[in-house]
Chain A
Amino acid sequence: MTPPLRLAPALVATALVLTACSGSSGTSSKTASTSAASTGASAPAGKTTLVVGLSGDIGQPPDPDVYYANNGLAIVLNAYEGLVQYKNDADTVQIAPRLATSWTVDKTHTVYTFTLRPGVTFHDGTPFTSAAVKASFDRRNAVKGGAAYMTAGVKSVDTSDPMKAVVTLDAPNSAFLDYLASPFGPKMQSPAGIAKYAGKDHDQTYLQTHDIGSGPYTLTSVQPGTEYDLTQYPGYWGKKSPFTKVRLPIFSDPSALQLALDKGQVDTVVAALPSSALKKYKDKKGISNYFLPTLQSALVTVNPTRSFFATVPARMAFLKTINQQQLVSQVLGERSEPATTLYAKGMIPGGADKQTITYDPSAMKAYAKTLPSGTSMSIGYASDNVNAQQMANIVAAQLQADGIKATAKGFPTSQVFGWVQDPPKGPDAFIDGNNGPDGGSPYMWGHVFWDKTGGIDYFGCDDPQTDSELNTAVKTGDTALYVSAAQKYAATGCYLNLSYNKDWVVAQSWLTGVAAAHNIGANELDFSLLGVG
């Protein structure tokens, strides 16, 4: 036996002993601090590549008419632009210009006229004109993706003036501007590109690996499950950042993502780290934390089809037993604040949609006494949401103290969406750690959460008057009617707006412009507005 071979077992043994010894520690702050200290926080000289860590693959192709999830918006919103967007760095919903510089809406909310920004070109060199508006709307309708409803009501687009698009709707819709400002809203695509790469699937194959947008960056590399790369578009009409390339590597494990951030191999993480990491990064040298406003909330939904919650008083008693202030602060910490309104924060001017449920555990104790001994109930949460799991466990423990056999149970996403077809098969209640509407119109909130056809009314708890008032209000934008609809739905006891959630952005301290690159509608940053400082 040669000497190196003789040493091999001992070397491997030593390495494995050290591995085993460190294996139980998890990602301690001490470890992170040590590794971060070696990287420092000074602005890297001549840094032209931004690395944005993604937690998990983007899931769907980054096609603006298909993509309807979360972290892939980082690609969609930097490669494509809409006619309008929500105003950056603002904590209320305000429509701001993007590819349209101005717009008018007729009194009936049926005709929207957009003046288009001159000098804009798509990544294939095609100039941006009103023809692109029509082609982009048509493509969205043809693809029939999840957000196709946003253009389904478009009756016509007048393109007679290349720099003016006159959009006429089938029916009045005061939420249409919000559809266009939504991160999932219709994005402008090159009409030449749409025609050239149509194939048999309306460009869907081509747009899995390319883009035909006008945004500050163009998609240059797609490695599903590994990394997506963007390259700065030299012909972009707007501000350009020093980052000529943006890399978006994928981390399937949050610990690995945190370690990469600690070692300076990732520059920023947007709304992807668990709340359990808040403490670790709070005072970390070389790291900046941003808590930026969103339209997202944590929500409690109650299942009226289950015998436990068959009556309104029972449902109300349950909602009252939730100590909103304590639960939000304990689990969500700085990234959230207790919700005081029925819609998203600031959606209704002046907070007229006040949520009136107050903490009163005596109501549930009284209800528990009326139940047979050992009555059980379950509180569901999405199995991939650690915050919701923690909240469900805390609420279940409170109910157990009242003598109820309460359990918290995780469910995969697809099962959660299946309950509405057969609500009694769902749990008695569900805690949603983070959810929100597509846009800032109160209709977009009320419709998805309170109308059983909306998509996120998990247990089909429906109040026909609420639906009717929402459907009337969307035609006129009548705020009072929106408030009335919300109050009627709140009276069902099926719903509690638990918290206003923020996007927690963690970034190396040298990265500037983070807040200015973020808006309330998107969980992502506009990379063209970031800088090095």
Chain B
Amino acid sequence: MSRFVAVRTASAAGLLLVLSFIIFCLQAVSPGDPVRASLGANSSPAAVAEARRRLGLDDPFFARYWHFLRDLLHGDLGQSLRTHRPVTTDLGDFLPATTELVLVAFLLALLLGALFAVSASLRWPGGTAFRAVLLVGAAAPPFLLALGAILLFYAHLGWLPASGRGGDEGAGGWVLLGSLLTLHLGTAASALQHVLLPALVLSIAPAISIGRILRASLDGTLAADHVRTARAKGLPEPGVLARHVVRNSLGPAVSMAGLQLGFMFAGVVVVEQVFSWPGIGTYLSSSIPVSDFPAIAGVTLVLGAVYIVLNAVVDVLQALADPRTTA
């Protein structure tokens, strides 16, 4: 098992290295003048030349990549051309917002996915309508779903806010988690209100994926011999479901949930943009038009790392659950 974990870790590191090289190549071949975009349209040629020299943009490709890699290994992602701050500082400001959004969305996806699966397998009343609505939501483009949610819950009903995070940045940007931990319940309630709408929009597509896997797994387990035996022995239905069905059906759904968590980090850009959510998606979408390479590379590497690590964790969990998968 330890060898399997070591191999998985090494391959994850290798993947990140390849990712960094691909990002760097894309930046090198992309047309544009990030310095002019960063300094301003009317900046003098002297100022532009000085900035290019300072940023090493006139150095040969491999020299620049080596500097980039060397700094990366020291945890230095460079300075954003747009914000003029270290990218690590920017990510420290923006990543907590994204993490809180994705975590709440993930919990919602688990809840909705479970309801999707259980309502289908156990044929609950209203379940068909619920599943149909979820499927329609998942089929709609995220920006349209987000705008629709804003119109309904903010503009028409006035139940939920449509932008911002609902509290002062505190505890390193962890508005929701920070206020919960410090028992500032007013701030926590406001933060929860603010995160609910974007999280709901972000959660619907993953909920379908998790729900479908869970439903297939539940159907298989419900038809299994040991469940029939448990019912025949007169065990009450909730007990049968809890002890014999749900536990034995969770494996594939957990794997899918892990993968979906990675997808949610990558797919957060559109949702953050529409809800003015100050996360790394918004940071990335502001950095792309001005070719702010350090920022783009920083966000991409973080998202890549999250995805790769989550994949590795899922693999390891699966291996722990079923050692035959490592063979």
Contact = CB atoms under 8 A, between A and B. Distances in A.
Contacts of B326: none
A259 B32 contact: no
B273 to A, nearest CB: 5
Contact of A226 (B47, B147, B154, B165): B165
B286 A56 contact: yes
Given A61-B84, A448-B41, A412 B32 contact: yes
Interface in B268-290: 272-279, 282-283, 285-286, 288-290
Interface of A: 1, 6, 8-10, 12-13, 15-27, 31-32, 34-35, 56-57, 59-61, 63, 66, 68-69, 144-149, 152, 184, 204, 208, 221, 223-227, 249-253, 255-256, 259-260, 262-263, 383-384, 412-418, 420-421, 425, 435, 437-438, 444, 448, 453-456
A462 to B, nearest CB: 13
Contact of B162 (A25, A152, A256): A256
28 contacts: A9-B115, A12-B112, A13-B130, A13-B132, A13-B133, A16-B133, A25-B151, A56-B286, A60-B84, A61-B84, A68-B42, A144-B51, A184-B40, A204-B84, A221-B168, A224-B83, A224-B90, A249-B276, A253-B273, A253-B274, A256-B150, A263-B155, A383-B289, A413-B37, A414-B34, A414-B36, A414-B291, A418-B36
Contacts of A26: 147
A430 to B, nearest CB: 13
B289 A224 contact: no
B13 interface: no
B187 interface: no
Interface stretch (B61-69, B121-129, B218-226, B314-322): B121-129
Specify which of A10, A437, A453 lies most central, judged by the most chain B CB atoms within 10 Å of its CB.
A10
Interface string B96-112: 01000000000000001
A256 B275 contact: yes
B31 interface: yes
A412 B291 contact: yes
B164 to A, nearest CB: 6
Contacts of B147: 23, 26-27, 255
B43 A20 contact: no
Given A60-B84, A61-B83, A456-B41, 5 more contacts: A1-B124, A19-B152, A24-B148, A145-B39, A415-B31
A143 to B, nearest CB: 10
Contacts of B47: 144-146, 148-149
A456 B43 CA distance: 10
A18 B152 CA distance: 7
B149 A208 contact: no
Contacts of B44: 146, 148-149, 152, 453, 455
A184 B37 CA distance: 16
Contact of B151 (A17, A31, A152, A221): A31
Interface stretch (B1-9, B134-142, B178-186, B251-259): B134-142
User: Top 8 A-B pairs ranked by shortest CB distance?
Assistant: A23-B148, A68-B40, A225-B278, A146-B43, A146-B40, A414-B32, A414-B291, A417-B36
A465 B163 CA distance: 53
A287 B154 CA distance: 20
| Interface majority SS (helix, strand, loop, mixed), chain A | mixed
A1 B118 CA distance: 11
A63 B156 CA distance: 40
A418 B41 CA distance: 11
Contacts of A34: 156
Contacts, number: 242
A417 B33 contact: yes
Given A9-B115, A144-B47, A456-B41, A251 B163 contact: yes
A21 B137 CA distance: 10
Contacts of B71: none
Given A8-B115, A27-B151, A256 B276 contact: yes
Contacts of B174: none
B136 A16 contact: yes
Of residues B44, B115, B283, which shows the largest number of chain A Cβ atoms within 10 Å of its Cβ? B44
Most buried by B among A17, A223, A413: A413
Which of A32, A152, A454, A455 is packed against the most chain B CB atoms within 10 Å?
A455
A20 B273 contact: no
B307 to A, nearest CB: 23
A146 B37 contact: no
Contacts of A435: 41
Contacts of A18: 152
B155 A456 contact: no
A144 B50 contact: yes
Nearest to A422: B31
Nearest to A149: B44
A20 B133 contact: yes
B133 to A, nearest CB: 4
Contact of A22 (B136, B152, B275): B152
B144 interface: yes
Contacts of A256: 150, 162-163, 274-276
A412 B150 CA distance: 28
A412 B288 contact: yes
Given A6-B124, A13-B130, A68 B39 contact: yes
Contacts of A456: 41-42
B228 interface: no
Given A260-B162, A414-B32, A456-B42, A225 B283 contact: yes
Contacts of B46: 149, 152
B76 interface: no
Given A13-B133, A413-B289, A226 B278 contact: yes
B155 A19 contact: no
Contact of A252 (B140, B145, B274): B274
B40 A13 contact: no
A208 B278 contact: no
Given A9-B119, A262-B155, A412-B32, A454 B289 contact: no
Given A31-B156, A224-B83, A22 B42 contact: no
A259 B155 contact: yes
B85 interface: yes
A329 B327 CA distance: 71
Contacts of B130: 9-10, 12-13
Nearest to A59: B82
B169 interface: yes
Contacts of B204: 16
B91 to A, nearest CB: 11
A20 B134 CA distance: 10
